[in-house]
Chains A and B, each alone.
Chain A
Amino acid sequence: MHDRDRTLIDASAPPQGAPDANPDRALASALRALPDAAPQPDLWPGLARTLAARRRPRVWRYALPAALAAGVLVALLLPRATTSPPAPVAGTSLPKAVPDIPVQAANDELDALRSRSQTLERWVAAVAAHAPQSSRDLMAAVEVEDLIGLVDVQLGATRDRTDALPLWRQRVALLEDLATIRGSAFAIAASDVGTIGVDNSFNRIN
């Protein structure tokens, strides 16, 4: 503003308290004296939500390569771990190779975990669409979702159901965390406005 092109003659400034006869200066002064205002309602909560949501792809920019690297590492190490049994100790008989979990039991648990995972995902998606989120909850939810993404990448690299079992357990645990985060916002929203427009089935996870 150094090349300001209006002419204000400071020497002609009126005595304090007297009206200014210089129209430009008087108008500037009158306009500046008008009251200021703040946006109502507060814009910040919405801005914080939008900023958090838009930052999520940035997280993925780093999380996805890291997850892929972890997945590749798992894929490389798992076959070695399963094909290299420990050397037998002299004088002891080699125990029969019995898996920790019987195959049928593992299959049953895996099916149950997958079913639980689907139910949780549907519930979380439905609640997220109806309940407002605080920026803090939203950040926490984004972090958990990123962790679920990491597990999914590792699941993609597993070859058999037994290897997938601990990952599915982890996935369900993370989804339960996510449901808790989303659910708290839902409970608050529901207590404020009732459950209008929200299917009753959203109130139960199972």
Chain B
Amino acid sequence: MSAISFQIEIPDTVLARARRGETGALEQIYRAFERPAFTLALRMLGDAEHARETVHDAMLHVLERVDQFRGESPFWGWLRQIVVNQALMRLRKERGVVLEELPDDDETQGNAPPPWAFADTRHLEHALARLPALTRSVLWLYHVEDYTHQEIAQLTGKSVSFSKSQVARGSSRLRDLLEPSQEEAAPCMTATAH
């Protein structure tokens, strides 16, 4: 199953019951978002146990404060924001305030389709896991969760250009990781040479 969207509408009746503390309604909310929340945390943190703890803390925060949700924005947006904040907090706590960043890369891109257009799931996941956590998080928030650079800058406490550079460098590194090595590529080049 592919990464499911966070954009799930929760009926007002369920929210009203949840505000009254009805366990059934709280579980309904949890069940609706457990997969997108865990997937997001897993992609950001790169560790299933850390992702599980992050989702636990985020869900507890949400379900305890559901009566504070004003309804001015979609519920899923509020919940997702809390998951992202929890994941970023964990990244900061575990890796220190200064998060590792990728160096500048040459962005040599031709007109050929990028390697991720052909990569299988296992290779793409493996390459993604090899990116620094913050770069991977920015890449995921931008490409999958549709956050803007402005929003990512606010979330991470960095600049818009930082977000842009992380997306560019992360994409470039992914390309490097997914493209076949020289040794693997050589026979193909030989075979196609005229």
A binds B: yes
What residues make up the interface of A, taking CB atoms closer than 8 Å to B?
A: 1, 3-6, 19-21, 23-24, 26-28, 30-40, 43-44, 46-48, 50-52, 54-55, 135, 139
In the complex, which residues 120-145 of chain B have their Cβ closer than 8 Å to any Cβ of chain A? 121, 124-125, 128, 139-140, 142-144
**Is the CB of B35 closer than 8 A to any CB of chain A?**
yes
In the complex, which residues 52-71 of chain B have their Cβ closer than 8 Å to any Cβ of chain A? 52, 55-56, 59-60, 63-64
Contact yes or no, A37 B39, CB < 8 A: yes
**Is the CB of B15 closer than 8 A to any CB of chain A?**
no
- The answer to whether A36 and B23 touch (CB under 8 A), given A1-B146, A1-B147, is no
> Which chain B residue lies CB-closest to A14?
B113
Inter-chain pairs besides A23-B109, A30-B116, 11 sampled, C-beta below 8 Å:
A19-B117, A20-B117, A21-B114, A26-B117, A28-B143, A32-B3, A36-B2, A39-B51, A43-B59, A51-B60, A135-B23
> Which chain A residue lies CB-closest to B21?
A55
CB distance from A176 to the nearest CB of B (A): 26
Contact yes or no, A36 B148, CB < 8 A: no
Query: Which residues of chain B come closer than 8 Å to A1, judged between CB atoms?
Result: 146-148, 151
CB distance from B91 to the nearest CB of A (A): 18
- The answer to whether A48 and B2 touch (CB under 8 A), given A19-B117, A30-B119, is no
CB distance from A27 to the nearest CB of B (A): 5
In the complex, which residues 21-74 of chain B have their Cβ closer than 8 Å to any Cβ of chain A? 21, 23, 26-27, 30-31, 34-36, 38-39, 42-43, 48, 51-52, 55-56, 59-60, 63-64
> Complex Cα distance A44/B109, Å?
46
**Is the CB of B112 closer than 8 A to any CB of chain A?**
yes
- The answer to whether A27 and B3 touch (CB under 8 A), given A4-B148, A6-B142, A37-B42, is no
- The answer to whether A51 and B64 touch (CB under 8 A), given A1-B147, A27-B114, A44-B30, is yes
Which of A20, A43, A135 is the one whose CB lies under 8 Å from B56? A43
> Complex Cα distance A38/B3, Å?
11
> Which chain A residue lies CB-closest to B52?
A39
> Complex Cα distance A47/B157, Å?
30
> Which chain B residue lies CB-closest to A26?
B117
CB distance from A164 to the nearest CB of B (A): 35
Contact yes or no, A32 B2, CB < 8 A: yes
Query: Which residues of chain B come closer than 8 Å to A32, judged between CB atoms?
Result: 2-3, 143-144
In the complex, which residues 131-173 of chain B have their Cβ closer than 8 Å to any Cβ of chain A? 139-140, 142-144, 146-151, 171
Contact yes or no, B2 A35, CB < 8 A: yes
- The answer to whether A27 and B174 touch (CB under 8 A), given A35-B3, A36-B35, A43-B55, is yes
Query: Which residues of chain B come closer than 8 Å to A37, judged between CB atoms?
Result: 35, 38-39, 42, 48
Contact yes or no, B63 A47, CB < 8 A: yes
> Complex Cα distance A41/B34, Å?
12
> Complex Cα distance A11/B92, Å?
40
Query: Which residues of chain A come closer than 8 Å to B63, judged between CB atoms?
Result: 47, 51
**Is the CB of B193 closer than 8 A to any CB of chain A?**
no
- The answer to whether A46 and B56 touch (CB under 8 A), given A27-B116, A31-B140, is yes
> Complex Cα distance A39/B50, Å?
10
Shortest 7 CB-CB contacts between residues of A and residues of B: A19-B117, A19-B113, A28-B143, A30-B116, A36-B39, A23-B114, A39-B52
Query: Which residues of chain B come closer than 8 Å to A55, judged between CB atoms?
Result: 21
26 A–B pairs (Cβ distance < 8 Å), ordered by A: A3-B148, A3-B150, A4-B148, A5-B148, A5-B149, A21-B112, A23-B114, A24-B143, A27-B139, A31-B128, A31-B143, A32-B2, A33-B121, A34-B3, A34-B124, A34-B125, A37-B39, A37-B42, A37-B48, A39-B38, A43-B52, A47-B60, A48-B27, A51-B23, A52-B23, A139-B23
**Is the CB of B111 closer than 8 A to any CB of chain A?**
yes
> Complex Cα distance A149/B59, Å?
31
